[in-house]
Amino acid sequence: METTKNYFFMDMSVMLGRSMRHIFRSMDTIVTVTIMPIALMLLFVYVLGGAIQIGTDHYVNYLLPGILLIAIANSVGYTCYRLFNDVQRGIFERFHSMPIARSAALWGHVLTSLISNAISVTVVILVALLMGFRSSAGILSWFAVAGILLLFTLALTWIAAIAGLSAKSVDGAIAIAYPIHFLPLISSAFVPTKSMPSGVRAFAENQPVTSIVEAIRSLLSNQPVGNEIWVALAWCIGITLVAYIFAMRVYKKRT
């Protein structure tokens, strides 16, 4: 069993290297994923921020958690696209004809998503620092933020895997990204939910992005997190587990 595990991790590292080479040969993926959140941050802080009442003078501090989630959500379409291409070109079947772990190729895409998103998030935070973002959070709070963002990335990546593996066309594979983009917009990422109409407010307060944003915001401002962090973790872990199960079923069926 130990030998099997060693082979699995070796195979997975090879698949990760393959996927990462595709990323670095086409850096426009990371650039595109990163530019839109930064553009939104610039727009809301320097153009619209003065008209938004949030109870603090540092709107970039309020805005950053939602922008980080948008940066991660932006990558979903690219993950779908890469998986769809591998399915259509028969890459998975070729790998399965070799003596490698069956799921290693899929995990290569998942780990690539985690690494590329970590790069994008880091760039967004650096730009936010230039724009005046400051945090009084300690090292443990930053680790907690990183953990939440990691789980959120995993959740969206496994959802992307379902779409990428089961889609019949490129447009169908990428379409999963559109509804995910709306979730941060209808949440407390940009404005407090109390300013929204009752129906919109009910949806915003009971969808996963709001609890994740509020947990990250509290951690970065060194404020008591309360139950928000547990709700956020429950959403992330629950979505990840369900999406993983369905993704693996689709993967086995298609390959």
pLDDT for 181 beyond 80 = no
> Of 37-46, 93-102, 114-123, 151-160, which range is least confident?
93-102
Model's pTM, two decimal places?
0.87
**Residue 249: CB atoms within 10 Å:** 13
Q: What is the pLDDT of residue 242?
A: 94
| Total count of domains within the chain | 1
Scan for tokens 């994008």, then name that residue.
120
At 188, give phi and psi (nearest 5°).
-90, 20
Q: pLDDT-based confidence at 51, cuts 50/70/90?
A: low
Q: What is the pLDDT of residue 100?
A: 73
What is the residue range of 69's domain? 2-254
- The span from the CA of 236 to the CA of 155, in Å, is 6
- The span from the CA of 201 to the CA of 215, in Å, is 18
Q: What is the pLDDT of residue 4?
A: 44
Residue whose C-alpha is closest to residue 187's, from 214, 160, 215: 214
